[in-house]
Amino acid sequence: MAKLTLEELRKLRDNKKHEIQKRETDNKEIDVIVGMGTCGIAAGAKDALDAFIAEIDKHNLTNVRIKQTGCMGFCTYEPTVEVKVPDMPDTIYNNVSVDVAKLIVGNHLVRKQLVSEHVFDRPSVDIIENK
């Protein structure tokens, strides 16, 4: 890859923005929040974040905000990822590997179906109450 300058980066971004504006009809409405605490990273959260970014880009989902957060308090179930889609329940997924991340994008974000076998159903009460 040739070395990118900030100016070239701005141009690439402007080109993409132009493409997005042609497609985009609504504002960002979906949140994907990846837990990147020490526990998450030890379990592979960096790979999960990379997979979400690549997969969301591949599907041209321009209405998705991707964020990282710290430990969500579910250390034994890492990597954990919270997904918020309008008209669907806010969902935390556990043990999100690269393959599970791809499933979440394809099923939850695109087809609006939960990836049931990875839905986390035992929230950590002390963390949730502190929110």
Partner 1 sequence: MQYSVCDYLLDLIQNSVESGASVITLDLLESDDQLEVCIGDDGCGMDNTTLGRVKDPFFTNGEKHSARSVGLGIPFIIQAVEATGGSFDIKSEKGTGTSLYFSFFKGHIDMPPVGDLPGVFRSLMLFDSDYDLLVHRKNIGKSYRVSRSELHEALGDFTDSQSLVLLKDFFSSQEEDIS
Going by C-alpha positions, the residue among 102, 90, 122 that lies closest to residue 58 is 102
Residue 46 CB, nearest approach to partner 1 (Å) = 6
How far is 95 from 117, CA to CA, in rounded Å?
10
- Binding partner 1 (rule: CB under 8 A), the pick from 48, 51, 56, 85 is 56
How far is 69 from 29, CA to CA, in rounded Å?
18
Residue 117 CB, nearest approach to partner 1 (Å) = 25
- Give the range of 64-72, 82-90, 91-99, 112-120 binding partner 1 by CB under 8 A: 64-72
Give 52-69 as a 3 state SS string: HHHHHHHCCCCCEEEEEE
Q: Which is nearer to partner 1, 116 or 130 (CB)?
A: 130
- H or E element: which one contains 39? helix 38-43
Q: How many residues bind partner 1 (CB under 8 A)?
A: 40
Strand 81-84, strand 64-69: pairing? unpaired
Interface residues with partner 1 (CB under 8 A) are 1-4, 6-7, 9-10, 12-13, 16-17, 20, 28, 36, 38, 41-42, 46, 49-50, 52-54, 56-57, 61-62, 64-71, 73, 126-127, 130
